[in-house]
């Protein structure tokens, strides 16, 4: 257990559905991240939040909408997704942002878009 | 642009040493990292090396950094079946040290 939990662990949704992924960290960290992991592709950083403010948005389509209501919780709201969005979505947190910054990862949500 | 490359697969016999290689493009990276991902789990930081070091050893793990060739390697001595996992190399992005650039990951399979 890394102290970062994600729910649900698996999600199957249609292209017209709206769903949300949830991440919670119990480590007292100030920064949280969303990554997308697709087969045979590098891990892609999607969003970074530091002290509940978005500091990085890596050209992610607007059908992905993050929300960070407090430093312990991070959501990824999904709507009108495409089949190519099927992937493992990983959440991570770190104490602070900066050059050395161990990120602790959750187990991920396996998303399948039909 | 920033790029981190790794081979996709490595297969070794139990008890042998494993060497996982990584090349990166950003010579200004401050830290370079190795993460491990076991089946069904998130990534876990294994070790890291500061860019002014050539080598770092931590029990069975040895990290070698060749800055001239922009080459990073992870050696696992006496590889065990529990070491079977995907290993990711990562570097800090040039203009944003909050951002880690990951490789594709190397799937290590250890057989008896």
Q: Which tokens belong to A15?
A: 């292209």
- Residue B22: name the closest of B10, B7, B37, B35 by CA: B7
Query: Which residues does chain A have with pLDDT short of 50?
Result: none
* Contact across the interface for B99 and A90, Cβ inside 8 Å: no
pLDDT at residue number A50? 85
Q: Which tokens belong to B22?
A: 């990584």
pLDDT at residue number B95? 63
pLDDT at residue number B27? 74
Summary mean pLDDT of chain B: 89
Whether residue B1 has pLDDT greater than 60: no
Q: What is the pLDDT of residues B42-67, one digit of tens each?
A: 899 999 998 888 999 999 999 999 99
pLDDT at residue number A57? 73
pLDDT at residue number B94? 63
Whether residue B41 has pLDDT greater than 70: yes
Please identify among residues 89-108 of chain B the ones whose CB lies closer than 8 Å to any CB of chain A: 90, 92, 96-105
pLDDT at residue number A43? 87
Q: Comparing A103-107, B68-72, B99-103, which segment has the lowest mean pLDDT? A: B99-103
* Contact across the interface for B99 and A45, Cβ inside 8 Å: yes
A83 touches chain B (CB under 8 A): no
- Residue B32 contacts residue B93 (beta carbons within 8 Å): no
Which carries the bigger pLDDT value, residue A101 or residue B81? B81
pLDDT at residue number A92? 94
Which chain B residues have a beta carbon less than 8 Å from that of A6? 42
User: Chain B residue with minimal CA distance to A47?
Assistant: B99
Q: How confident is the model at residue B26 (pLDDT cuts 50, 70, 90)?
A: confident
Cis peptide before A8 (omega within 30 of 0): yes
Q: How confident is the model at residue B97 (pLDDT cuts 50, 70, 90)?
A: low
Q: What 3-state class would DSSP assign to B18?
A: strand
pLDDT at residue number A63? 94
* Contact across the interface for B98 and A105, Cβ inside 8 Å: no
Best mutation site among A1, A103, A104 for testing chain B: the one with the most B CBs within 10 Å?
A103
- The Cβ of residue A32 has, within 10 Å, a number of other Cβ atoms equal to 27
B82 HSE (CA, 13 A, CB side): 3
Per the listing, tokens 């001239």 go with B68
pLDDT at residue number A1? 67
């Amino acid at each position: 257990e890394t102290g970062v939990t994600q729910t649900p662990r698996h999600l199957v949704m249609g292209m017209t559905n709206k769903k949300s992924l949830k991440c919670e960290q119990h480590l007292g960290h100030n920064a949280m991240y969303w990554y997308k992991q697709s087969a045979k592709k590098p891990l892609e950083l999607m969003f970074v939040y530091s002290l509940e403010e978005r500091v990085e948005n890596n050209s992610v389509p607007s059908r992905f909408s993050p929300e960070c209501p407090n430093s312990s919780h991070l959501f990824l709201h999904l709507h009108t997704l495409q089949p190519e969005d099927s992937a493992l979505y990983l959440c991570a947190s770190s104490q602070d942002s900066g050059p050395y910054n161990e990120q602790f990862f959750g187990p991920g949500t396996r998303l399948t878009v039909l | 642009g920033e790029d981190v490359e790794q081979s996709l697969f490595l297969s070794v016999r139990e008890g042998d040493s494993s060497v996982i290689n990584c090349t990166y493009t950003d010579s200004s990276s401050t830290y370079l990292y190795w993460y491990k991902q076991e089946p069904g789990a998130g990534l876990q930081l294994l070790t890291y090396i500061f860019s002014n070091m050539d080598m770092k050893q931590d029990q069975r793990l040895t990290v070698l950094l060749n800055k001239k060739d922009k080459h990073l390697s992870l050696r696992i001595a006496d590889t065990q079946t529990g070491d079977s996992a995907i290993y990711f190399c990562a570097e800090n992005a040039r203009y944003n040290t909050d951002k880690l650039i990951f490789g594709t990951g190397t799937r290590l399979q250890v057989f008896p």
